[in-house]
Homo-oligomer: A and B are copies of this chain.
Amino acid sequence: MAKLYVVGIGPGGRENMTLKAIETIKKCDIIVGYKPYIEYLEELVDGKEVFSTGMRGEIERCKIAVEKVKEGKNTAIISTGDAGLYGMAGPILELKDEIDVEIVPGVTAAFSAASELGSPIMHDYVSISLSDLLTPWEVIEKRIEKAAQGDFVIIIYNPKSKGRGNHIEKAVDIMLRYKSPGTPVGIVKNSGRANTKKWIKTLDSIDYDKIDMLCVLIIGNSNTHIKDQLMITPRGYKL
């Protein structure tokens, strides 16, 4: 029986894909995804039927994928990073009825960015998306506040985009009520892809003009420090 695979392809480059993600895409007849993400797959999609739609076409893509499986085709719908975080796993499972679905996990952007910055996560952390397209801004603000109060490492997805250019500044203002101004902040643009750029700053010295929707931010906890231009959050071992 045909099956729908929801595949996390990792941050972008082939090297951070899992064996299972690669094998799954190889064995599917149909590949569905956001156009720029399909391009990361390069020759893996050669000879396959590809359905790509633009930004905000998420639900359209899910419906195409479900329909193709019902026509008897093994189908992969792809997300960057992990499909189960801000990705396609949720809407697919909500929409599916009798079809068979398998989720293939992947490396999310936070861990890719962390590996490029040093070891900024290491300990208890929070992941928050600043996109208020699907979540009320008040909920996001409350979460930022609780995360800062708990002295978590904080990972920010979707720090900025058209129409919400100052969300990241508002988020940092909330954090500054509880975190020291000198708290290290790692910013990575295009993590795990070509043209990766990164900056290590402090909470009070962020250059907001350099941040866009392709960036992930990692804000340290009270023990995070910088050494040899690397951002390090200790686990707590006596060394």
A4 partner residues in chain B, CB cutoff 8 A: none
| Known contacts A90-B119, A94-B239, A235-B91: A82-B111 contact under CB 8 Å | yes
| Contact A234–B108 (Cβ < 8 Å) | no
Which positions 104-138 of chain A face chain B at CB distance < 8 Å? 104-108, 111-112, 114-116, 118-129, 134-135
A118 partner residues in chain B, CB cutoff 8 A: 89, 93, 103
Tally of A interface residues using CB under 8 Å: 73
Chain A residues within CB distance 8 Å of chain B: 8, 10, 14-20, 22-23, 58-59, 82-87, 89-95, 103-108, 111-112, 114-116, 118-129, 134-135, 139-140, 142-143, 145-147, 149-152, 192, 227, 230, 232-239
Query: What are 14 A-B residue pairs whose CB atoms fall within 8 Å in the complex?
Result: A17-B18, A59-B237, A82-B111, A85-B121, A85-B122, A90-B119, A90-B233, A92-B119, A94-B237, A108-B111, A124-B143, A125-B127, A126-B152, A143-B150
